[in-house]
Amino acid sequence: MHASPLFARAVARLLCRVDAALGRPGTLDFVDMAAGRGELVTKVLAALPVGVAARTRAYAVEVADRPEGLDPRVRWLPEPPGGLTGLLFANEWLDNVPVDVAEVDAAGVARRVLVRGDGAQRLGEPVTGAAAAWLDRWWPLPGGEGLRAEIGLPRDEAWAAAVASLDAGLAVAADYAHTVAARPPFGTLTGFRAGRETAPVPDGSCDITAHVALDACAAAHAARCAPERTPPEALVRPQREALHALGITGARPPLALARTDPAAYVRALASASEAAELTAPGGLGDFLWLLQPVGAVDAAALLVDVAYDEEQ
pLDDT at site 292: 97
**Across all residues in the chain, what is the average pLDDT?**
88
pLDDT score of 115 more than 90: yes
pLDDT score of 24 more than 50: yes
Q: Which residue has the higher pLDDT, 282 or 173?
A: 173
- pLDDT bucket at 310, cuts 50 / 70 / 90: very low
The Cα 15–Cα 88 span in angstroms is 9
pLDDT in tens, 40-93: 999 999 999 999 999 999 999 999 999 999 999 999 999 999 999 999 999 999
Helix (H, G, I), strand (E, B) or coil at 56: strand
pLDDT at site 258: 58
pLDDT at site 29: 98
pLDDT score of 124 more than 50: yes
Out of 72-86, 101-115, 247-261, 287-301, pick the least confident. Answer: 247-261
Residue 305 — left, alpha, or beta (φ > 0 → left; ψ -120 to 50 → alpha)? beta
pLDDT at site 255: 65
Amino acid identity, position 164: A
Percent residues over pLDDT 70 in the chain: 84
pLDDT in tens, 135-147: 999 999 988 999 9
The Cα 285–Cα 307 span in angstroms is 23
Closest of 203, 90, 185 to residue 146, by C-alpha: 185
pLDDT at site 225: 72
pLDDT at site 195: 84
Q: Which residue has the higher pLDDT, 28 or 309?
A: 28
Find the distance separating the first CA and the last CA of the chain, reported in whole Å: 29
Cβ-based neighbour number of residue 17 at 10 Å: 21
pLDDT score of 227 more than 80: no
pLDDT at site 295: 92
HEC states along 259-301?
HHCHHHHHHHHHHHHHHHHHHCCCCHHHCEEEEEEECCCCHHH
pLDDT score of 154 more than 80: yes
Whole-structure pTM value: 0.89
pLDDT at site 253: 58
Residues 6+ apart with CB under 8 A from 21: 296, 297, 298, 301, 302
CA distances from 205 to 64, 94, 95, 98 (A): 18, 20, 18, 16
- pLDDT bucket at 222, cuts 50 / 70 / 90: confident
The Cα 236–Cα 242 span in angstroms is 10
